[in-house]
Structure 1
Amino acid sequence: MMTARTQAAPGREKVEPKSRATEMDLRVRRALWLVVSMLSLSLLLVLLGVYITTRSESLNLSGYISGVILTLGSFLGLLGLCLEENRRQLLTAAIVFLSLGVMGSFLCVVIDGACVVFNMDMRPLKADRCQYYSGGSSYVYENFYTSVTCWSPMESCNMTVRSGTCYCCDLYDCANGGYLNNYYEYVGVKSCEEVFTLYVLIWILASLNLVAFFAGILTTAVLGSVKHLESSMFFPPSSPPHPESPHPSSPPLPYRVNGLSA
């Protein structure tokens, strides 16, 4: 019985590294799918944010900034999961960038969702009370700017409009020259209907940033667990040394007492 128990201990020591390696492979595969999904979401944020920003000069969005940071963090995480060399350093860098991207996503939700969308009044657009100035087909300087008259129940005033602009006189403050509301005109659009499309896309961008906020937290936690498991595989916890006992089947060693061997 003592011999069987003694021989079973090395067997358990061999099974334990295999189980830890299997657990490591399983976690890496799950983390790989999560990082690839996070990378796709980040690229979508970048493309959508850049598209909205370039469609109109009047809209300044920050939604794509978080996408850039999350893309870099997801790419580093993908490299760390696929490469065994420097895996720990790559995962550490990925966690740092993903954490910054999570904070950026929250700020983008606040800036784009609260500051931009809530300042865009779509009621005149839905009521067809906004006009579009194309500027004509000539390239003369005077054709790029024109002066239009805006009427209100209390007063009327003139407003200078650039070509390719959708403007709403109902949102223009004649007394202050429109300085209280920056979204009475949208420069660079092709029609007033495109403004409403941009409004919907901004809401989608803010929603995607909210999804990226929670997905980034989940991805950071999963990469952290993979990093911890990786370090514990290479640096296992030290166990107290066991005193070596002589094999029960081996004969006892001779000893000497006062020069006489027993």
Structure 2
Amino acid sequence: MTPGSTRGTTEGVKPTETPSSADMMKRRKRKSLWLVVGMLCLALLIVAVGIYSTTRTGSLSVTGYASGIILAFGSFLGVLGLCLEENRKQLLVAAIVFLSFGIVTSFFCMVVDGVFILFSIDTRPLRAGRCQFYTSGKGYIYENYYASVPCQGLEESCNMKVRSGTCYCCDLYNCANGGYLNNHYEFVGVGSCQEVLSLYILIWVLTLLNLLAFILGILTTAVLGGIKDMKGHTVSPGGGSPHAVLRPRDSIVLSPTAPLLPDPAGHALYPSTSLYFTPTAGTESSQSGLSDTPRLDPHPPPFAPLYSLLPYKTQG
């Protein structure tokens, strides 16, 4: 093997750089931010679909948008907590609380919309075209105007009172007891019977969105809980492992009750080291070439005299 080939092989293999903890923290925060933003977009979509569905007809009370409002507010607090440095922990705790309430609400909305509404709507007469749509014209409001229309059921015929702008299905209406046993045989306030099928699909979509929000909300809450307890690190200029930069004065153990005195340059205040500290007995001969080494006095005076406020100066 020639020296050139050896050099080429050595240059081709590069050592892999291990990411520092600060870089890993930034990546984790970035992924968490994308997750919370996705949760916010999903919550806003639930609010839009839920409000649109509940305003299509006056016969159904869709409740799926309630969870979207709570989840949207919690996700917004989570975005603020990840983007801002001050009050981060308080914002993340508030976001976790609102997301927890939103998770519980999405579960109840999923049960109400998916069980009590979808399973009580029979779309077979709608798909077969056996439902009729009644309207009295644009000059009448459907809340205030009722009309008696003939209804031919599977067993008998009768008359039923409907409002203007109503899609009604006589196959689901029980003439004997006035439709008391059959739910959702009429849909008030719709534009046509075809709109009822679109509403049925929208409620299914809203239920699936609440299921997705339930799963994604649990994941988002767990991620924000892990970010909440993490603390920031100080990154060294060379990109190495994070460490704290200590000043020379920080290495001296000072008393917390020592008075604050200006340093020789007059720029900052620092506790005086001569109040409760005495120099070591064995180092008096070598103090000319070394700095003063303070030693904690085991028996500090109860009251500091005035002359002790001056900086301690060694003799000789």
TM-score, normalised to structure 1's length?
Answer: 0.78
Tell me which residue corresponds to 2:244.
none
Q: Secondary structure at the match of 1:84?
A: coil
Q: In the TM superposition, what is the alpha-carbon distance from 1:205 to its structure 2 partner?
A: 0.5
Match of 1:159 in 2: 160
CA distance in 2, matches of 1:228, 1:173: 61
Cα distance in structure 2, aligned partners of 1:175 and 1:210:
40
Cα contact 2:106–2:211 (8 A) shared by 1? yes
Q: Does structure 2 conserve the Cα–Cα contact (< 8 Å) formed by 1:135 and 1:145?
A: no
Deviations 1:214-243 (A, max 9, x none): 00001001101100113x869xxxxxxxxx
Structure 2 distance, partners of 1:120, 1:162, is 20
The answer (yes or no) to whether the contact 1:66–1:101 under 8 Å persists in 2 is: yes
Corresponding residue number in structure 2 for 1:5: none
- Structure 2 residue identity aligned to 1:204: V
**Alignment match, 2:119:** 118
Aligned residues of 1:132 and 1:191 also touching (Cα < 8 A): yes
Which residue in 2 is equivalent to 1:106?
107
Tell me which residue corresponds to 2:245. Answer: none
Deviation at 1:254, TM superposition (A): 7.3
In structure 1, distance between residues paired with 2:64 and 2:28: 31
Amino acid at match of 1:209: N
**1:199 matched to 2:200:** yes
2:141, 2:164 within 8 Å by CA — same for their partners in 1? no
Aligned mates of 2:195, 2:153 — CA distance in 1: 25
The separation in 2 between residues aligned to 1:204 and 1:61, in whole angstroms, is 12
SS at match of 1:55: coil
Q: Distance in 2 between matches of 1:140 and 1:211?
A: 38
Question: Displacement of 1:22 after TM fit?
Answer: 2.7
Tell me how far apart the structure 2 counterparts of residues 139 and 177 of structure 1 sit (CA, whole Å). Answer: 25
Tell whether 2:202 aligns with 1:171: no
CA 1:41–1:254: 2 relative to 1, 3 Å: closer
Measured in 1, the distance between the counterparts of 2:34 and 2:27 equals 11
Give the secondary-structure state (helix, strand or coil) at the position aligned to 1:157.
Answer: strand
- Structure 2 vs 1, CA of residues 181 and 29 (structure 1 numbering), >3 Å: closer, same or farther? same
Offset of residue 153 of structure 1: 4.2
- Helix, strand or coil at the partner of 1:160: strand
- Structure 1 Cα separation of the partners of residues 97 and 283 of structure 2: 64
Deviation for aligned residue 1:145:
2.0
Per the TM alignment, residue 128 of structure 1 is displaced from its structure 2 partner at its CA by 0.4
Contact 1:58 1:186 in 2 (8 A): yes
Post-superposition shift, 1:180? 2.0
Superposition deviation, residue 26 in structure 1 = 1.8
Matched-pair contact (CA < 8 Å) for 2:56–2:190? yes
Partner of 1:96 in structure 2? 97
In structure 1, the residue corresponding to 2:148 is in which secondary structure? strand
Unaligned stretches of 5+ residues in structure 2: 1-18, 235-281, 285-316
The aligned counterpart of 1:180 is 181
Shift of 1:144: 3.2
- The residue matched to 1:56 in structure 2 has which SS? coil
Contact 2:154–2:171 (CA<8 Å) still a contact in 1?
A: no
Q: Secondary structure at the match of 2:133?
A: strand
Equivalent AA in structure 2 for residue 227 of structure 1: K
Distance 2:107 2:199 in 1: 21
Structure having greater relative contact order (Cα 8 Å, sep ≥ 6) = 1
Superposition deviation, residue 158 in structure 1 = 1.3
Q: Show the counterpart of 2:128.
A: 127
What root-mean-square deviation, in Å, do the aligned CA atoms of Structure 1 and Structure 2 show? 2.3
- Distance in 2 (CA, whole Å) between partners of 1:36 and 1:87 is 17
Aligned position for 1:35? 36
State the alpha-carbon separation in 1 of the partners of residues 222 and 141 from structure 2.
59
Question: Aligned residue for 2:272?
Answer: none
Report if aligned partners of 1:24, 1:226 keep a CA contact under 8 Å in 2.
no
Deviations 1:72-104 (A, max 9, x none): 000000010011110000000000111111111
Higher helix share: 1
CA spacing shift, 1:138–1:62, aligned 2, 3 Å: closer
CA 1:83–1:158: 2 relative to 1, 3 Å: same
Structure number with greater Rg is 2
